[in-house]
A and B are shown apart, each in its own frame.
Chain A
């Protein structure tokens, strides 16, 4: 992909700039689609219809909303800390956008082929926390500050089970690499789970060995833990205390309006897809097709990466849908319940899971 761009434009710099802005286009399209999906899912789960008036069954609703948002007046309250108030949405979006650098969209396109992909994503998402704290503090509003504090505490806490689960999956990946070393690269992890859904990590990894069947229940548990803690990491219901409309108005983005609010919104949906894509990559084969490629059987080579991109998006969007599904199923938990779930349940389970997976991988 990168080479192709370089050949087309004849300059490394332009190729880099274009390659790095591709996920932005993806995010924009995705958000337009995901917001509509969210509203439609919400509607139909409550036996309503959702937006219906803009376009056929409201498919252009998000675009209309987007134009509404960019027309809006940019209101900055008088006592806010202007510099950081303006910087915070950028930082939050930068944090969630940076995660896309290590997501393998297909075998032909990944922002950066660093070997520490997963580790990088976990680390860079702390920029989001800093941005949220900045937004909450600079708004000079008690609800915003409370929301920001809650959000930061929540994300920092839930990073632990997430990382433990990721660690256990990386340990499993060591069973399947050529040199016996585990890998942190999402690309390599996806490559391992190739050719069939039977090889997915959620089903214990490739092959028919005994260890696969021993691992199977524990990888499934790992997936559940990851799903729950990733929900908390992106502040989705049932863990959406930071932006609880009914108690904190809207948490850290209470004071934001217009395009700055849109940035937060964009970042939230970008984050949703990012964690979904990670879940898809480490448990469900990433961009690998579960049933084989049309391009391979037809002998058209360039079709394969496009198919891979398709599968990656489908898996990602499916987990985004699961997040929405959970949102309209579960009520919001209390702050103490949130911490109980994390520290008393998820972390012990993740630890035990990690140990067991480690032992099984050794034998």
Chain B
């Protein structure tokens, strides 16, 4: 009987204690952050969406090689010696046309391993974290500054250049070979002459 009354008392008193606590919390300022309107300040070194500053990219492919999930896809075309592609901000000379620089952010695991090898620090993590899309293909970001036509043109141009060079090389080689032959003949002729003199 005593236990019975004690149980009752305990139940009632603890309920009132609980109610007091919850009532107190009614007036505690909410910890909610009204997200789209108010945003939390992100830490300095957050890893979110990747961005590539194409002005600085030299197309060295180091980031693509570092990527553990192969989400970076780069294609480059060599430039002609006559073309000046400018310099990167830290003074490296650019020598390649970057015709394709695709990052499939859907695959990206935000490991930041691509950021460190970059010699020009042109690939980095930004603080943008809202980039949902309706289609998965929309998550493939294309950073290359050249349009498809330009890329083709550059490739064709390089091919032409290479062919030209090849041809020039071949010609040069031919010329060289001819010259060598000529020289050889001349030498032989001279030797023959000297032989004749000796006789």
Would A and B touch once assembled, by the CB under 8 A criterion?
A: yes
Interface bits A316-354 vs B (CB < 8 Å: 1, else 0): 000000000110111000000000000001000100000
Known: A224-B12, A345-B8. A328 touches B31 (CB 8 A): no
Contact call A41/B26, Cβ cutoff below 8 A? yes
Known: A325-B22, A325-B23. A330 touches B30 (CB 8 A): no
Residues in A40-95 with C-beta less than 8 Å from chain B? 41, 43-49, 52
How many angstroms between the C-alpha atoms of A326 and B28 in the bound complex? 18
Contact call A326/B19, Cβ cutoff below 8 A? yes
Contact call B30/A49, Cβ cutoff below 8 A? yes
Flag whether B18 is at the interface (Cβ < 8 A): yes
Across-interface contacts of B25 in A (CB, < 8 A): 44-47
Interface bits A240-276 vs B (CB < 8 Å: 1, else 0): 0000000000000000000000000000000000000
Across-interface contacts of A45 in B (CB, < 8 A): 22-23, 25-26
Contact call B15/A330, Cβ cutoff below 8 A? yes
Residues in B16-40 with C-beta less than 8 Å from chain A? 18-19, 21-23, 25-32, 34
How many angstroms between the C-alpha atoms of A52 and B12 in the bound complex? 35
Task: Give the most central of B8, B19, B22, B27: most A CB within 10 Å.
Answer: B22
How many angstroms between the C-alpha atoms of A43 and B31 in the bound complex? 10
Residue from A47, A328, A345, A349 within 8 A of B28 (CB atoms): A47
Across-interface contacts of B7 in A (CB, < 8 A): 345
Consensus secondary structure, chain B interface: helix
Across-interface contacts of A48 in B (CB, < 8 A): 30-32
Contact call A44/B26, Cβ cutoff below 8 A? yes
Contact call A325/B30, Cβ cutoff below 8 A? no
Contact call A325/B31, Cβ cutoff below 8 A? no
Contact call A325/B19, Cβ cutoff below 8 A? yes
Across-interface contacts of A43 in B (CB, < 8 A): 30, 32
Known: A47-B31, A48-B30, A48-B31. A329 touches B22 (CB 8 A): yes
Across-interface contacts of A41 in B (CB, < 8 A): 26
CB distance from B78 to the nearest CB of A (A): 55
How many angstroms between the C-alpha atoms of A49 and B21 in the bound complex? 17
Residue of B nearest to A345 (CB): B8
Residues in B100-157 with C-beta less than 8 Å from chain A? none
Residue of A nearest to B32 (CB): A49
Interface bits B38-62 vs A (CB < 8 Å: 1, else 0): 0000000000000000000000000
Task: Give the most central of B8, B32, B34: most A CB within 10 Å.
Answer: B32
Across-interface contacts of A325 in B (CB, < 8 A): 19, 22-23
Contact call B22/A52, Cβ cutoff below 8 A? no
How many angstroms between the C-alpha atoms of A44 and B29 in the bound complex? 8
Residue from A52, A224, A330 within 8 A of B34 (CB atoms): A52
Interface bits B85-107 vs A (CB < 8 Å: 1, else 0): 00000000000000000000000
How many angstroms between the C-alpha atoms of A349 and B12 in the bound complex? 13
Residue from A47, A49, A330 within 8 A of B18 (CB atoms): A330
How many angstroms between the C-alpha atoms of A345 and B15 in the bound complex? 16
How many angstroms between the C-alpha atoms of A220 and B19 in the bound complex? 18
Residue of B nearest to A348 (CB): B4
CB distance from A179 to the nearest CB of B (A): 38
Residue of B nearest to A43 (CB): B30
CB distance from B85 to the nearest CB of A (A): 50
How many angstroms between the C-alpha atoms of A182 and B18 in the bound complex? 38
Contact call A44/B30, Cβ cutoff below 8 A? yes
Known: A329-B15, A330-B18, A345-B8. A47 touches B30 (CB 8 A): yes
Across-interface contacts of B15 in A (CB, < 8 A): 326, 329-330
Across-interface contacts of A329 in B (CB, < 8 A): 15, 18-19, 21-22
Other A-B contacts than A41-B26, A329-B22, A345-B7, 8 sampled, CB-CB below 8 A, are A45-B23, A47-B25, A47-B32, A48-B31, A48-B32, A49-B32, A326-B15, A349-B8
- B contacts, CB < 8 Å to A: 7-8, 12, 15, 18-19, 21-23, 25-32, 34
- A contacts, CB < 8 Å to B: 41, 43-49, 52, 224, 325-326, 328-330, 345, 349
Jot down 14 A-B pairs with beta carbons below 8 A, ordered by A. A43-B30, A44-B25, A44-B26, A44-B27, A44-B30, A47-B28, A49-B32, A52-B32, A325-B22, A326-B19, A329-B19, A330-B18, A345-B7, A349-B8
Q: Which 10 A-B pairs have the closest CB atoms?
A: A329-B18, A49-B32, A329-B22, A49-B30, A45-B22, A44-B26, A48-B32, A45-B25, A47-B31, A329-B19
